[in-house]
Amino acid sequence: MSALTIGLIGIVIFFLLLLTGLPIAFSMMAVGVAGMTVLRSSTAAFQTMADAFVSTFTSYTLGIVPMFVLMGEIASQTGLGTSLFDTAQKYVGHKKGGLAIAVQAVCAIFGAICGSLPATTAMMGGVAYPEM
């Protein structure tokens, strides 16, 4: 059997697993391991799965993103975000679309301060949503 045929069979099996109600991640893992076992060997399949598992949980990004989100929540709860938003609202709130401009300005300022999109989103979601 060619690799293309095995790939097409894998796609069909993947969709069948999805229709049975199996979560997407487990469906993809099952089809990937089965396909790798058929094309290479079971040792290669399980070694690849182990490497992917370890590299996912030792990823630098997954380690720091929760800390940036926590920083955004702390800024939101302490009133830093509200003060920043009120200041921007005073400068541009009287203009047409002033609320949207103020939100964008505060997002730009806070994003430049912390350097994290998730933290800025967490903070501005709590501050600007009630205003909107």
73-82 pLDDT tens trace: 787 788 877 7
Q: Supply the pLDDT for residue 30.
A: 92
| Mean pLDDT, residues 1-10 | 88
Q: Which two tokens stand for residue 35?
A: 């396909």
Higher local confidence (pLDDT), 2 or 12: 12
Whether the Cβ atoms of residue 118 and residue 72 lie closer than 8 Å to each other? yes
Please tell me the predicted confidence (pLDDT) of residue 121: 79
| pLDDT given at position 12 | 95
Mean pLDDT for 75-96 is: 80
* Alpha helices (H) along 20-41: 24-39
User: Tokens at residue 106, please?
Assistant: 């505060």
CA 35/CA 98 separation, integer angstroms: 55
SS3 66: helix
> Mean per-residue pLDDT for 14-28?
94
pTM over 0.85: no
Which residue carries 């469906």 as its tokens? 27
Question: Please, is 51 exposed, middle or buried when counting C-beta atoms within 10 Å of its C-beta (0-12, 13-18, 19+)?
Answer: exposed
Share in percent of the chain as helix, strand, coil (round to 5): 85, 0, 15
pLDDT, averaged across the chain: 84
Strand, helix or coil for residue 50: helix
Q: Locate 77 and state its tokens.
A: 């709860």
> Do residues 94 and 116 touch, judged by C-beta distance below 8 A?
no
How far is residue 46's CA from residue 39's CA, in Å, rounded to a whole number? 13
Band of the pLDDT at 27, cuts 50, 70, 90?
Answer: very high
